Structure 1
Amino acid sequence: MPTKNTLIFIALLFVVSFSSTFFIIRSNDHKECETLLKKELDKNGIEVTKKEHVCKEKYSF
């Protein structure tokens, strides 16, 4: 049976992990991002559209 300290450590680890994930998701607002559309022809001559997500943020999580 786990000790009281082990259970407290596991609970604290869960809370810190959840809080960190929530912070990263909330702070990544993509205000300085844009989506580029590139149109190319493949080897069969069919036009293919590719979307590329480009961010200019200093820190992009």
Structure 2
Amino acid sequence: MYARHGVREYWIIDPEHETVDVFLLKDKEFDGKRYCLKDTIRSSVIQDLRIEGKEIFQ
């Protein structure tokens, strides 16, 4: 449904496990990557958007 409506990237934040799953649309399907507290999360859609994992879960 997201791909059909033009969503190119979405993030799922899991506060219990302190992870962020980032899904990027590639060839009409989403490919995901998991980040944690020590990681820097970068958006592939919003240029220059970088967030430290530890900032999300303070």
Normalised to the residue count of structure 1, the TM-score between the two structures is 0.29
* Structure number with higher helix proportion: 1
* Structure number with higher strand proportion: 2
Normalised to the residue count of structure 2, the TM-score between the two structures is 0.30
Q: Which has the larger radius of gyration?
A: 1
